[in-house]
Amino acid sequence: MSDIKDFFKKELQQKGDRALLNVKYMGISYDEIKYVYSELGLPSPITLIKNTVKTYTGRGWGNGYVRIAEGHKYHEKAYDDISVSVHGGLTFGQHIFDNDKHFSEGYWVGFDTAHYGDDILLWPQDRVLEETIDLFKAIYELS
């Protein structure tokens, strides 16, 4: 494991998601962050949810969400007051207090692919994942 991943791992073990507040200064990549979360058995700071509601059929594959760490400038901020560029704009912001099948505890923001003109060809699962990773990078200011 690289020195930066070792350092981030120790920070994550000590601070939880608050370790994400300084990743922009560490030179760590999203893939390295994902690896450390997985190695420690911690819930990912991103999640995807497939569209299953019948009114969403004919739309994109699903929605992407990012957990915002406590102490971040966007934590608990209304999603429409968060300045990030994501497909269709942010359409969700909520503090989840109990883990459920989709979200771990924390403040989550996200976007959907159920806008007019969205479809499964334009928004398959892999593209929703890419857009969610881009949202994560924008929130935590990663390059």
What one-character-per-residue DSSP string does 101-119 give? SS--SEEEEEE-S-STT--
pLDDT at 2: 80
User: Given the structure tokens 């995807």, which residue do they identify?
Assistant: 48
More confident residue, 1 or 105: 105
pLDDT, tens digit, 9 for 90 and up, residues 13-71: 999 999 999 999 999 999 999 999 999 999 999 999 998 766 656 789 999 999 999 99
What digits encode the pLDDT tens for the residues 97-132? Answer: 988 888 999 999 999 999 988 999 999 999 999 999
**31: exposed, middle or buried (Cβ count in 10 Å: 0-12, 13-18, 19+):** exposed
59 vs 89: which has the higher pLDDT: 89
Would you state the pLDDT for residue 54?
A: 64
Q: What single string gives the DSSP state of each residue in 22-52? A: GHHHHT--HHHHHHHHHHTTPPPSEEEEE--
Summarize the confidence of residues 130-135 as an average pLDDT: 98
1 pLDDT band (50/70/90 cuts)? Answer: low
What are the residue boundaries of the structural domains of the chain, listed by start? 1-42, 44-143
Structure confidence at residue 64 (pLDDT): 98
